[in-house]
Amino acid sequence: MATPESPYGPVVGGGRPVRVHHLTAAKAAGTKLVMLTAYDAPTARILDAAGTDLLLVGDSMGNVVLGYDSTLPVELDELVVATRSVARATTRALVVADLPFGSYEAGPAQALASAVRLVKVGANAVKLEGGRARTATIQALTQAGIPVMGHLGFTPQSVNALGGFRVQGRGEAGDELVADALAIEQAGVMGVVLEMVPEPLAARVTEALGVPTIGIGAGARCDGQVLVWTDMAGMTDWSPRFARKFGQVGAALAQAAADYGQAVRAGSFPAPEHWFAS
């Protein structure tokens, strides 16, 4: 599929809404896929208008929005609300919603019931974590017409089993990760997020798969990249080593709030143009 140029590079989907079939076409054309998280309508509207190809309503909302220190407490109901908000504000990007911890591990029937709730509020696809153990679930979802994105490497929902936030797939574990990637591709995933794996391993998986890989802390040879939007935009002081701050949104927000407070206290806001004389 042809990918027309924009001032910023080739456009996935030719400028039309990004859909599942565009992803493999983008990989074949060597067009990088751009993915960010979003959890609410105003942010999604801005990120979509900026040309982001995929918006992930990630269970990272647990850390980013809800104030938890992991993704584990996030409920399906919370993902449903966030997905509805993001989908309403998005016109071009493909909306992928995370299946949160506890909403799919019991098996295909539970996963299907959870995924249907996310699709009904506007998700174009769902994402779940895990490799060979998830093939039956992936098949059940894809057979029901729900595209699935996989997630391998550091899988945050398994943080307790993995012993913390650690790079995955080093040494012989790399072969296991490749086997997982091939198995979930065979089961029908439309793409695979690779989180915190060594760069050569991410390149090997990317080479081995026909569907795109989306890296986060996995080097530049993936077919696309994803970041948590608050890390990307510099919303917080801390960000992970694999992220780059492309803005200083946190500092800008703090300054705006301080300026507003000063104007209210000084009596310079509101001014006559802000009130109704009659």
Answer for which of 178, 184, 201, 226 binds ligand KIV (CB under 6 A) is: 226
Using CB under 6 A as the binding rule, the residues of this chain from 68 to 97 that contact ligand KIV are none
Instruction: Kindly tell me which of 32 and 151 has the beta carbon lying closer to ligand KIV.
Output: 151
Q: Would strands 5-6 and 9-10 be described as parallel, antiparallel, or unpaired?
A: antiparallel
State the SS3 of 181-219: HHHHHHHCCCEEEEECCCHHHHHHHHHHCCCCEEEECCC
Active site residue 185: no
CB of residue 38 vs ligand KIV: minimum separation in angstroms?
10
The CA angle 26-196-252, to the nearest 5 degrees, is 80
State the Cα–Cα distance between residues 209 and 207, nearest whole angstrom.
Answer: 6
Answer for which of 205, 228, 232, 233 binds ligand KIV (CB under 6 A) is: 228
State the Cα–Cα distance between residues 272 and 238, nearest whole angstrom.
Answer: 41
For the beta carbon of residue 2, count every other beta carbon within 10 angstroms: 8
State the Cα–Cα distance between residues 192 and 278, nearest whole angstrom.
Answer: 59
Stretch that binds ligand KIV, among 40-48, 52-60, 105-113, 263-271 (CB under 6 A): 52-60
Number of residues near ligand KIV (by CB under 6 A)? 12
State the Cα–Cα distance between residues 210 and 214, nearest whole angstrom.
Answer: 13
DSSP 99: P
CB of residue 274 vs ligand KIV: minimum separation in angstroms?
38
CB of residue 98 vs ligand KIV: minimum separation in angstroms?
5
Using CB under 6 A as the binding rule, the residues of this chain from 5 to 44 that contact ligand KIV are 37
Query: Taking CB under 6 A as the rule, does residue 192 contact ligand KIV?
Result: no
Stretch that binds ligand KIV, among 15-23, 58-66, 82-90, 105-113 (CB under 6 A): 58-66
Residues found near ligand KIV in the complex (CB under 6 A) = 37, 56, 58-60, 98, 151, 193, 195, 216, 226, 228
Question: Which residues belong to the active site?
Answer: 195
